[in-house]
Amino acid sequence: MSDTLDLEHADAEDAVLPRAPEDDTGGHVKKRWGIGFWLSAVWLLAIVVLSVGAPYLPFVEEPGAFPDFSIESLAGPSADHWFGVNQNGDDLFSQVVNGGRTSLLIGGSVVFFGFVVGGAIGIAAGFYGGRTDRIISAILDVFLAFPALVLALALIGIVTGGDANLPVVILALSLLSVAPLARITRGTTLAVAEREYVLAARTLGARQPRIIAKEILPNVVPPMAAFALTVIAVVIVAEGALAFLGLSVSSPAPTWGKLIAEGRAEIENHGHWALFPAGTMFLTILSLNYIGDVLQSRFTVREGAL
């Protein structure tokens, strides 16, 4: 009778608390990164290396370099010009590489500013709670209620009168990134603030700045850093939207959005002008989103883990 009860109890435990699958050695199966992750990582690494090393690569022309007048305007891909040339005879491969440098610079700068400022605001709201949280959340709701693209257009128009440059585009998109990143950081902080080690630190009388520095930040930064990749992808798309409206970075610095906007008029007859930068932009955004999703699935704080 006792053995029967023990077996029934064990079966009930297995039904309520399913065990992790085990490999042949008896240990838990490790979660693999997957082929998609590594393909995305290789693509991003190639883009970063080409973009950063462009000034030192002999096969990449600098922006504003003397065009090749010996080749027909808008000629397609060839051995000398891998992506073809544009209407001015500029090498399109070089423009795509240099455009990647500008687009990644914009994305990285915006994310850095947004996470420093928005992250500090979000941590303050999530950690202190109460009246501080209510006031900050209300302000964030007001900013989030406005269409982001309209605000970007207004900021650029007010500052430059419609003639945008790189610092202004970065500043406009950075200001727009603060509210959503602060909101996300707040949510992550709320989850971390209820963990046992944070509650123990409070009980032991640790000072609030120490709790934030020693307990909150180390556990908030990894999931937010994973989310940063997705934000970079969003910023690259936002810059592309500004380029289509004629409010992106001024010449001669190219961006992927500008190259696509310039080539759309010839999309039927000379599709390479728009398709190569569009394809590069698509694969980069896809890779950023995929890696970001994988990292978030590993680092995001979940309520069930509390």
Per-run averaged pLDDT (10 residues), the chain, 306 residues: 46 41 45 85 93 81 60 64 73 85 91 92 91 93 85 77 76 88 90 86 86 88 85 90 80 81 77 84 94 82 44
SS3 247: coil
Q: Can you give the pLDDT at residue 9? A: 44
| Closest among 240, 230, 285 to 260, alpha carbons compared | 240
Write down the pLDDT at residue 8: 45
Q: So what's the pLDDT on residue 75?
A: 64
CB 62 within 8 A of CB 98: yes
User: CA 25 → CA 18, 21, 22, 73, 280, distances in Å?
Assistant: 19, 11, 8, 64, 43
Q: Are 263 and 277 in contact (CB under 8 A)?
A: yes
Measured distance CA(231)–CA(222) in Å, rounded: 14
pLDDT at 12 (0 to 100):
40
- For the entire predicted model, the pTM comes to 0.77
Determine the Cα–Cα distance for residues 147 and 189; give it in Å rounded to an integer: 26
Which pLDDT belongs to residue 18? 42
Tokens of 71: 């080749």
Q: What is the pLDDT of residue 300?
A: 63
pLDDT of residue 123: 93
pLDDT, residue 116, reads 92
User: Quick one: pLDDT at residue 7?
Assistant: 42
CATH superfamily, domain 102-299, is MetI-like (1.10.3720.10)
Q: With beta carbons less than 8 A apart as the criterion, state whether 107 and 167 touch.
A: no
